[in-house]
Amino acid sequence: MSVTIYWHRQDLRLSDNPALDYAASKEGSVLPVYIRDESLTIWHVGSAQHWWLHHSLLKLQKSYKDQGANLLLHSGKAEDILLALIKKTQAKSIVWNRCYDPQSIKRDTELKKLFIEMGLEVKTFNDSLLTEPEKVRNKSGGFFKVFTPYWKECLRSIEARKEIPIPKLRNTKTLELSEDINDWNLLPTKPNWAEGFSEYWSPGEEAALAKISDFLQDAMNGYGKNRDIPGITGTSRISPHLHFGEISSTQIWHRVQHTIDEMGYTNDIERYLAEIGWREFSYYLLYHFNDLPSAPFNSKFTDFPWKDEKEHLKLWQKGMTGYPIVDAGMRELWHTGWMHNRVRMIVASFLTKHLMVPWQKGADWFLDTLLDADIANNSAGWQWVAGCGADASPYFRIFNPITQGKKFDPKGEYVRKWVPEIADLPDQIVHTPWLAESSTLNDLSIKIGKTYPKPIVDHQKARNRALEAYGEVKNS
């Protein structure tokens, strides 16, 4: 019986899976394998994502077993493992869904050439994006550098494929054994800093599909406003599932279109689709500018006078800056592996503009601590806030952590949850605890500088310093 190897990567699901569907359509059997590729040294799975990967793969293995098939798990260099499997099973075909980061593209191009030279059929598919990066061009034939015209062009041209049902699988019968995922030691032990993750997240395809359905049914109305309020569940929180491919952008697109059929094309839906569009745009930028994770898109920022003070970076990471909305965000990240998008912008602006720490330092921290850490989104987002990216936030836009907190967390619900040291302060002072009356602080046993830190920088002075530095770049 002929064998087709299906190589899982960022597509940990069975439904709407074009590579799996193609493999199952061929005569013979399918051998699905997930490889923890040790040749990819950067950008891929951060420490927090190890937790998600562990549980997602367990769910995927169970899904295969329910279909009467088995998913092999292997760690090592992808080339070595795939060559060994080809030799052992005498496979004639190998298929996978494409990844669009530079490292994966380089690896996959080399492997595809090798397998074709060996006489194998090699098929690859677009599974993760609505529009492939090389196909969207501006009127002059170049690539877009601004989001709005890019997304308008995409909306005119998107022809999402039909959703693909889970195929019937004929699993190959071999003596090949899977590695035990527990031997990968993906879960932290001492200390178990991921202990709180399971309170907020349930990895896997089934949970992903349920989450997007619940969001579209219960939370889409009001999304445009609610998405900016960190104290409520106003966003879909689908991003970790999307990153690991437990749900596809095509599945989300079709479900949103169904919602449009039911309720019309509302401002809320337009805003939500724009978030999907920003993910597409981020991969588009990474595809055309491979250095996006490490170098400023705007070359004027190459010699920007960053301060890179290590102590400030540590205090920011720990949520001990003395600015409650910033500290709440960083603590939410540490406890849940996620951070509200509005707060991501606030904390990123604070690091790069108040503290003038290089944006790459913040981006690296997010890659290691976010469950939805995505090299394209992360890099584009940090560059946008820092003012050096495509379609960047204006250099003079410096998020004021005080007014941002008061505007988007007016009753302090978000801050009180994640910064319990100041939870008893009244609403009007919870975002500026250092301005509270001494009597109020004494009554609540709050000691600024001891039980909760003083602001590590003065907002106005930090703002002026940043404006001066950014002004020099603007005029260069």
The tens digit of pLDDT for each residue in 129-142 reads 999 999 999 999 99
CATH number at residue 309: 1.10.579.10
Domain boundary among 259, 288, 317: 288
Give a yes or no: residue 459 inside a domain.
yes
In angstroms, the first-to-last Cα distance of the chain is: 67
Count Cβ atoms within 10 A of the Cβ of residue 90 and give its class: 0-12 exposed, 13-18 middle, 19 or more buried: exposed
Give a yes or no: residue 167 inside a domain.
no
Rounded Cα distance between 328 and 339, Å, is: 9
- Whether 387 and 412 map to the same domain: the answer is yes
Q: Judge contact between 72 and 34, C-beta under 8 A.
A: yes
pLDDT in tens, 236-277: 999 999 999 999 999 999 999 999 999 899 999 999 999 999
Per-chain mean pLDDT for the chain: 94
- Whether 350 and 413 map to the same domain: the answer is yes
Rounded Cα distance between 30 and 20, Å, is: 8
- Whether 352 and 279 map to the same domain: the answer is no
CATH number at residue 277: 1.25.40.80
- Whether 33 and 77 map to the same domain: the answer is yes
pLDDT in tens, 91-113: 999 999 999 999 999 999 999 99
State yes or no: pLDDT of 41 exceeds 80. no
**Number of domains, the chain:** 3
CATH number at residue 64: 3.40.50.620
The token pair at 285 is: 């930028």
- Whether 240 and 216 map to the same domain: the answer is yes
- Whether 455 and 309 map to the same domain: the answer is yes
Task: Give the pairing type, strands 93-97 and 72-76.
Answer: unpaired
- Whether 110 and 233 map to the same domain: the answer is no
| Residue keyed to tokens 């994006």 | 129
The token pair at 418 is: 């994640």
Number of H helices, E strands in the chain: 20, 5
Strand partners, 448: 452
- Whether 116 and 135 map to the same domain: the answer is no
pLDDT of 155 reads 93
State yes or no: pLDDT of 43 exceeds 60. no
pLDDT of 170 reads 75
Proportion of the chain above pLDDT 90, given as a percent: 88
Give a yes or no: residue 450 inside a domain.
yes
Mean pLDDT of 175-190: 88
Give a yes or no: residue 177 inside a domain.
no
**Domain around 246:** 129-160+206-288
| Closest alpha carbon to 50 in 62, 36, 65, 39 | 36
Strand partners, 31: 5
- Whether 278 and 150 map to the same domain: the answer is yes
Mean pLDDT of 169-193: 83
- Whether 115 and 148 map to the same domain: the answer is no
Task: Name the pTM for this structure.
Answer: 0.95
Domain boundary among 256, 288, 320: 288
Kind plus residue range of the DSSP H or E element containing 464: helix 459-474
Give a yes or no: residue 65 inside a domain.
yes
Give a yes or no: residue 190 inside a domain.
no
| Residue keyed to tokens 């990216």 | 389
- Whether 370 and 303 map to the same domain: the answer is yes
Q: Judge contact between 456 and 322, C-beta under 8 A.
A: yes
Q: What DSSP string runs through 94-153?
A: EEEE---SHHHHHHHHHHHHHHHHTT-EEEEE--S-SS-GGG---TTSS---SHHHHHHH
pLDDT of 45 reads 78
Helix axes 324-336, 359-369, angle to 10 degrees: 40
pLDDT of 38 reads 84
State yes or no: pLDDT of 392 exceeds 90. no
pLDDT in tens, 409-453: 999 999 999 999 999 999 999 999 999 999 999 999 999 999 999
- Whether 30 and 51 map to the same domain: the answer is yes
Give a yes or no: residue 172 inside a domain.
no
State yes or no: pLDDT of 175 exceeds 80. no
Give a yes or no: residue 432 inside a domain.
yes
Which residues are annotated as catalytic? 275, 278, 306, 341, 359, 382
Rounded Cα distance between 56 and 450, Å, is: 41
Measured at the alpha carbon of residue 109, what is the angle toward residues 104 and 112, in degrees to the nearest 5? 120
